């Protein structure tokens, strides 16, 4: 499936009630041939307004880490499990994740990254394993079929608890080194 067709399907999608409430479908952005794909949870208010993932406060915090380990944001691809903003930024419902996951699967097949990085617990539970424990398992590399996949703390969680920033830096360094190898 081609990018434009996939994005159009996503824009037209009304499988979930939140599809009728969104301002924009937040499909994904970045380098379509990226070595790394970052996958968050769902768009927030700023993302919904702009139609681009991770452009709000959490996104700015992510940008700092990318910069600190020498990764250019333009070189990576960024998307979310959900393409529409859940009301009041609540966690995505399991049925919303199921409704939306195929768009992400197609994006992953098209990008074919060397590494998938889950941003936060929700993304890791959907993409790595349902019982993923972010505090214990962040920074561990898993093999899933043809893909290597890891998870780091969600940047919004780091803003709430800055004591996790050091772990995030260590994980991001490891990610940057894996890509260079």
One character per residue 78-117, x = contact with ligand URA (rule: CB under 6 A): --x-------------------------------------
Site track 38-77 with ligand URA (rule: CB under 6 A), x = hit: --xxxxx--x-----xx-x-xx------------------
Contact between residue 86 and residue 42 where contact means Cβ atoms under 8 Å apart: yes
**What would the two tokens of residue 135 be?**
């505090």
Q: Measuring CA to CA, how many Å separate 25 from each of 22, 48, 79, 114, 123?
A: 7, 7, 11, 26, 18
Number of residues engaging ligand URA in binding (CB under 6 A): 14
End-to-end Cα spacing for the chain: 30
**Residue 27 is a binding residue for ligand URA (CB under 6 A):** no
Where does this chain bind ligand URA (CB under 6 A)?
40-44, 47, 53-54, 56, 58-59, 80, 119, 156
């Amino acid at each position: 499936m081609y990018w434009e067709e996939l994005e159009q399907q996503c824009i037209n999608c009304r499988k979930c009630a939140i599809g009728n409430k969104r301002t924009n479908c937040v499909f994904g952005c970045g380098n379509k041939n990226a070595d790394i794909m970052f996958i968050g949870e769902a768009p927030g208010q700023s993302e919904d307004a702009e139609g681009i993932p991770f452009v709000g406060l959490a996104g700015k915090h992510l940008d700092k880490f990318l910069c600190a380990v020498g990764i250019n944001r333009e070189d990576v691809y960024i998307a979310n499990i959900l393409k529409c903003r859940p009301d009041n930024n609540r966690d995505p419902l399991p049925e919303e994740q199921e409704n939306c996951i195929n768009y992400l699967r197609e994006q992953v097949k098209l990008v074919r990254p060397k590494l998938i990085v889950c941003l936060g617990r929700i993304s890791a539970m959907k993409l790595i394993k349902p019982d993923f424990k972010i505090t214990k398992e962040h920074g561990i590399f898993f093999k899933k079929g043809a893909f290597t996949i890891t998870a780091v703390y969600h940047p919004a969680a780091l803003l709430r608890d800055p004591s996790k920033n050091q772990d995030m830096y260590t994980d991001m360094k490891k990610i940057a080194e894996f890509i260079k190898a």
